Structure 1
Amino acid sequence: MPTARDTGAKLPPEQTALLAGHEPLLGDASPGRWTDAGMAPDSREESSRRQTAEGGVALDGSNHEVGFARGVAIGISLFVLIFIHSTNMSGLTMIQGPLAIDLHAPTLAMWFTTSYFISASSLLPVIGRLAAIFSPRAVVLPCVALFALGSLFASQAHSFAAFVAGRIVMGGGGAGIVVMAVVFVIELTDKKTRGVMIGFVNAAFTMGVSVGAAVYGVLHPVVGWRPLFWFQTPLAIIAGIALYLSLPPSMSSPPAQQNGKPIPLSRKLASIDYLGAILLVSSPFHPSTKHKTNTSQTLTIILFLYSLAGDIHPTPLILSLFSLIAFVTTEFRLATNPIIPLSVLSSRGVLLSCLAQLGLITARWSILFYTPVFMLAVRASPPATAGAVLIFTNLGFSLGGLAIGYLHIRRAGSYYAAQLLSLLFSFITITFLAVISHPTTPSLVFIAIVTLNGVATGIALNYALVHILHLSHPSTEYVTTSLLATFRGFGGSFGTSLAGGIFYRVLRDRLVNGFLRLDGTPELGPARRKLVDRLLGSPDLVWYGDDVLAPRERHVAVDGYATAIKGVWQAAAVLALVVIVVQAAAGWTSPREEAEGRLHEDEE
């Protein structure tokens, strides 16, 4: 039968491929998930029909049945892993100042968090692909081992490079934890309860984020920073082993079969796009304080983030573009079974949805990262109290996701209008937060707006996952959801790194100009330059430093921090508006609906 490409029929606007020549065909919309792992489309369709005929799982049911006890064990083990992973996403905001001083890297504090985000985000599509080729259960123990070894290595570091290396290894394990959370929701829940389960997973993530800042702030003065990392090693190992043993045996091998026989291991290994994986995954990177970078060890995301973090570096910015072109060319022209299938790379709806999530999470993390800093440096809150503010916004995040999953997301399908409304709600809260970010704002008002932003983001993220499943081919759910998680993870990197670039540039200018006016001199003296450097890396010095600032010096510091954070949140508000436009362009038509439309046109 002729296809739409043969007959000249056009795809609906929201499903038009971003990269022409790779539009998904009707055969790509098969219901199996294990695409490109050695299983042809026809065999996937035959396998799906056979499973249904033999009394397999219905389309609306779960793919693996688990009993109550097993389900509880899976839930608890996965919750512990998610909780540990997410505490590493926020905890360092409260200890980065003392940690940077201890590691003799006061101007590189932002990389403690960014290195973890980049590593975790870069590996997400690769691990999602490996879960599809081998099995979801097969990735559990290796990823947990990476996380445990990385946390142990970081706890013993005595230099900036060693600590960041440990964080990178931890991030690789963290990527596996994120993939597990998404894949197990898809595999172990039915479509009626999927929305609520997604809400619970998001609640676990945000609980770790909120508690992490508070716990790190409380425990660091008591035990130091090293136990905060090595203590994660035994917890991760115990939870990982418990999760592995709790998963049903049916998840030990992928259901990808050809003529009823499992695919040999050699064929699975041969199906991996190694070159694409190398180009996608970033190598360990030691950022320099100079305008130089080791280009042999940096790839697209690291190059881009480094080029815009702090001072602007044109060379890595240009190199990041070439790295991106090399990856896309490899996936489209060289790889037989690309890391990201062509039906995903060429889907306008999927890629624009991912870009919208990138912008949303970037804006969200600019709030999560700088809310404790605002409370600490501008509102004079103690470190433990400043970190505890995140509890309110993340509680709102959890309640928003759970409520919308229970009340509205009760089916699979499009949630186009609802998602746009949730993004509009988020934009309004960020805009209002930027308006009230000054020292005289009542704390209750500030906390209320931050909490509402959490509610809006929780709702938007829940809608986003269900909607992108609607926009993606059923055969690529693992990779699509991993790609979505990748862009969300990069949003964390962008939110901390790019927002950090804005923050540090504005703060430095305000501090320098403020102290120049205060001293009445044309340039800063050595003592003032040292004070500026210390204030840039340690917001707690404004009110709780060893050397007490004079009232006029503190006024300059408070004004600098308030202005810098306001600038970050103004940029986040603009970005949130762009997110609405990008998500609106993603559309609402699923590949199956689009294929049926083309089939109807061909028949006519």
Structure 2
Amino acid sequence: MARVEAEMEEAHPSNLPTETTPLLNNSDLDLHPTCTSGDFFAKQQDEERTIVVEEPPLGRLILIMATAWFGIFLGALDSTVIATLSAPIASEFNSLSLLSWLATAYLISNAATQPIAGRLTDIFGRRLGLILSNLLFAVGNLVCGLSTNHYSMIIGRIIAGVGGGGLISIATFLTSDLTPLRKRGIMQGIANLWYGAGAMLGAVIGGIFQDRTVVGWRLAFLVQIPPSLLLIPVIGVLVKVPPKQSDKSYLARIDFLGVFFTCSFLILLLLGLNTGGNTVPWIHPLPLTTIPLSILCFAGFIWWEGKAKQPIIPVALLRDRTVLSACGASLFISMLLMATTFYVPLYLQVLGDSTTTAGLKFLPSPLGGSIGALGTGYMMAWTGKYRPIGVLGAVVLIVGTVLFTLQDENSPKYLTCIALFFVGGGFSTVLTTATVSCLAAVDHSQQALVTSAICKYRPIILHHRTDGRSTSMTLTSLAVLARSVGGTLGITMASAAYQSNLKEMLWDIFGDKSGGPEEIQRILDGLEELKHLPEGWWHGVMATFMESFRIVWLMMVCWAVLALFSISFVKRHTLHSRMDRK
């Protein structure tokens, strides 16, 4: 008894127990005005106990997060490495229809994985989730590197996309698990730096392997396998965040119908948007079927998640202005980033650069991203504010996109580098502030109704509602999902506008010339034809390409303005310096 009383005295020095103190003090349970001790025992079977670990020492925290950050880098790199490899891969397999599917297959499976990764790793643990994600990522890239036809190539991209989605999303959850809000800006800034560097260096690395190695494009996939496999034992040793505790079985805590509706909605929507206008006409049965079915699945998702006890994504979250605004900003800047990543290298190659040179000219973007991400993190930690920083980042993003619209075939190449620097810096700044503001919107009283024990050198166990209240993991899932869907939508919309305008203008100018239809098709099939244009075609063809690119640049300006509009509506919340948000 003396030992128990000593521990209780240490934990609660201002509230010493006496012989008449009840064993279950109602004041300990009633931490929220809507919760009573009776409510607690009535709902105990349906609640989960979240173990909030103490913040690790700085050295150990950096080691843990470094494993997660490198996974983010690999996942982001794999999403864009295909930007400069699509043409040679499609040529090797003699399948031009493969071009759009190489990026689409990865991004669709990536987007479908991320919203459910948070819930599954809440149940089974972050460590198991990261290990499985690295394993799937390695297997997917192995299939791609050894593929002998376009079917196995697409299957490999799907498997790698599932793994990459887990790497990116679970690493973000881990940041929330181990750092308080006040420091999360710095940690999230570093994570976004790794994401931006991976996404923006993918085209560079792909071009180098294609142009400078004997193996060619296959090495770009195979080289990602060893680091992914090496991360597995490191994660097994370092990552020790316990999963949520519950009296229910693992399977009983999984919202299977929610998983079905979420994945079906995303897969059908992105499949329809990516095929329509690219591989098949918009009036083809594929987009005409998948898009309406995706709307039905979304309606089913809203209906079910509103009544589920433990939903994948509580729909009530989207009623919060800050959450909706932050997710909107993440969506628009991700649309912009992917359009930039895929179309700026293409623009430079049209002007005569090799894939390697075009990739190297892309380096100012991750440089600006590193400055934006780290600067944003330190500013938030210093000032405790995030909305003004996010607004500034969106303005920088607008400046970068406007610079793209001023370019043509005669513009100096350094103008492209300056524009990329601004885009990279603005993207990282807005992404960091959007993620942190989304997490800050979760009030402590909304997350935890009952604190069962807060003891020195011990975990803090929090009992969470199961009625769809906000949690930081779910909010992080929403933010990451918005980023993933935004990237896919950005590529789809930019590709549709670029391809349709390019084809229409080429036919308007050269369609009635001798041999025109055949030459136009060769131009649309590959950039190599630009070196062998018929007499008198060059200026007209270049003007057509520049006008098509300008449409993409104008779309990027619109997305940057929408990002500014969205980030301006986030509310100011306190960035706490402690893990328990007190």
Q: Which of the five TM-score ranges fits, normalised by the shorter chain? A: 0.7 to 0.9
Kindly tell me: are residues 578 and 82 of structure 1, through their superposed partners in 2, closer, same or farther at Cα, counting changes over 3 Å?
closer
Contact 2:523 2:530 in 1 (8 A): no
Letter in 2 for 1:280: T
Report the alpha carbon displacement of residue 220 of structure 1 after superposing the two structures with TM. 1.3
Kindly tell me: are residues 206 and 438 of structure 1, through their superposed partners in 2, closer, same or farther at Cα, counting changes over 3 Å?
same
Partner of 1:368: 341
Q: Of the candidates 152, 173, 176, which is equivalent to residue 162 of structure 1? A: 152
Letter in 1 for 2:246: I
Query: Aligned runs of 1:289-300 on 2, under 5 Å?
Result: 298-300=267-269
Kindly tell me: are residues 155 and 442 of structure 1, through their superposed partners in 2, closer, same or farther at Cα, counting changes over 3 Å?
same
Corresponding position: 1:418 with 2:421 = no
Aligned pairs, how many?
506
- Structure 2 unaligned runs (5+)? 1-31, 36-42, 448-470, 577-582
Partner of 1:451: 421
Partner of 1:306: 275
Kindly tell me: are residues 144 and 411 of structure 1, through their superposed partners in 2, closer, same or farther at Cα, counting changes over 3 Å?
farther
Letter in 2 for 1:138: L
Structure 1 residues 454-505: Cα deviation after superposition (integer angstroms, max 9, x where no partner): 1111111111111111123553111111210111011111121221111111
Partner of 1:353: 326
Q: Of the candidates 256, 259, 264, which is equivalent to residue 274 of structure 1? A: 256
Corresponding position: 1:555 with 2:539 = yes
Report the alpha carbon displacement of residue 585 of structure 1 after superposing the two structures with TM. 4.0
Structure 1 residues 270-324: Cα deviation after superposition (integer angstroms, max 9, x where no partner): 11111111121259xxxxxxxxxxxxx9523333443465643461333332222
Corresponding position: 1:539 with 2:552 = no
Corresponding position: 1:481 with 2:471 = no
Other structure's SS at 1:312 match: coil
Report the alpha carbon displacement of residue 516 of structure 1 after superposing the two structures with TM. 2.5
Letter in 1 for 2:224: Q
Query: Aligned runs of 1:392-541 on 2, under 5 Å?
Result: 392-410=364-382, 415-434=386-405, 436-473=406-443, 475=447, 476-516=471-511, 519=513, 524-525=516-517, 527-534=518-525, 538-541=526-529
CA distance in 2, matches of 1:273, 1:462: 30
Report the alpha carbon displacement of residue 76 of structure 1 after superposing the two structures with TM. 4.0
CA distance in 2, matches of 1:567, 1:577: 16
Kindly tell me: are residues 567 and 189 of structure 1, through their superposed partners in 2, closer, same or farther at Cα, counting changes over 3 Å?
same
Contact 2:144 2:157 in 1 (8 A): yes
CA distance in 2, matches of 1:27, 1:160: 57
Corresponding position: 1:263 with 2:249 = no
Corresponding position: 1:136 with 2:121 = no
Partner of 1:582: 566
Q: Of the candidates 235, 239, 246, which is equivalent to residue 231 of structure 2? A: 239
CA distance in 2, matches of 1:411, 1:126: 34
Report the alpha carbon displacement of residue 124 of structure 1 after superposing the two structures with TM. 0.8
Q: Which moved more, 1:195-204 or 1:156-165?
A: 156-165
Kindly tell me: are residues 422 and 156 of structure 1, through their superposed partners in 2, closer, same or farther at Cα, counting changes over 3 Å?
same
Report the alpha carbon displacement of residue 27 of structure 1 after superposing the two structures with TM. 5.5
Contact 2:306 2:315 in 1 (8 A): yes
Contact 1:125 1:482 in 2 (8 A): yes
- Structure 1 unaligned runs (5+)? 1-24, 29-35, 49-56, 58-62, 257-261, 284-296, 593-604
Contact 1:146 1:173 in 2 (8 A): yes
CA distance in 1, matches of 2:319, 2:368: 35
Kindly tell me: are residues 173 and 506 of structure 1, through their superposed partners in 2, closer, same or farther at Cα, counting changes over 3 Å?
same
Partner of 2:312: 339
Partner of 2:6: none
CA distance in 1, matches of 2:112, 2:291: 18
Other structure's SS at 1:340 match: coil
Contact 2:75 2:165 in 1 (8 A): no
Report the alpha carbon displacement of residue 114 of structure 1 after superposing the two structures with TM. 2.1
CA distance in 2, matches of 1:348, 1:38: 32
Partner of 2:14: none
CA distance in 1, matches of 2:34, 2:87: 55
CA distance in 2, matches of 1:442, 1:200: 32
Structure 1 residues 203-241: Cα deviation after superposition (integer angstroms, max 9, x where no partner): 212222233211211111322222322332232111222
Kindly tell me: are residues 143 and 185 of structure 1, through their superposed partners in 2, closer, same or farther at Cα, counting changes over 3 Å?
same
Structure 1 residues 411-449: Cα deviation after superposition (integer angstroms, max 9, x where no partner): 66x523332332233123212322x13111111122112
CA distance in 1, matches of 2:267, 2:187: 37
Contact 1:151 1:229 in 2 (8 A): yes
CA distance in 1, matches of 2:329, 2:160: 27
Other structure's SS at 1:410 match: helix
Corresponding position: 1:193 with 2:176 = no
Contact 1:472 1:591 in 2 (8 A): no
Kindly tell me: are residues 472 and 408 of structure 1, through their superposed partners in 2, closer, same or farther at Cα, counting changes over 3 Å?
closer
Partner of 1:96: 86
Other structure's SS at 1:281 match: helix
Contact 1:373 1:539 in 2 (8 A): no
Report the alpha carbon displacement of residue 176 of structure 1 after superposing the two structures with TM. 1.2
Report the alpha carbon displacement of residue 372 of structure 1 after superposing the two structures with TM. 0.6
Structure 1 residues 362-400: Cα deviation after superposition (integer angstroms, max 9, x where no partner): 0222112111111110x2112101011221112101111
Other structure's SS at 2:313 match: coil
Other structure's SS at 2:79 match: coil
Q: Which moved more, 1:164-173 or 1:297-306?
A: 297-306
Provide the aligned C-alpha RMSD in A.
2.9
CA distance in 1, matches of 2:183, 2:55: 14
Identity of aligned residues (%): 23
Contact 2:201 2:366 in 1 (8 A): no
Contact 2:196 2:369 in 1 (8 A): yes
CA distance in 1, matches of 2:298, 2:368: 36
Kindly tell me: are residues 176 and 66 of structure 1, through their superposed partners in 2, closer, same or farther at Cα, counting changes over 3 Å?
farther
Report the alpha carbon displacement of residue 99 of structure 1 after superposing the two structures with TM. 0.9
Report the alpha carbon displacement of residue 108 of structure 1 after superposing the two structures with TM. 4.0
Kindly tell me: are residues 37 and 461 of structure 1, through their superposed partners in 2, closer, same or farther at Cα, counting changes over 3 Å?
farther
Partner of 1:176: 166
Other structure's SS at 1:90 match: helix
Contact 1:279 1:299 in 2 (8 A): no
Report the alpha carbon displacement of residue 409 of structure 1 after superposing the two structures with TM. 3.6
Letter in 1 for 2:102: F
Report the alpha carbon displacement of residue 188 of structure 1 after superposing the two structures with TM. 2.6
Letter in 1 for 2:562: V
CA distance in 1, matches of 2:386, 2:277: 35
- Tell which structure's C-alpha radius of gyration is larger: 2
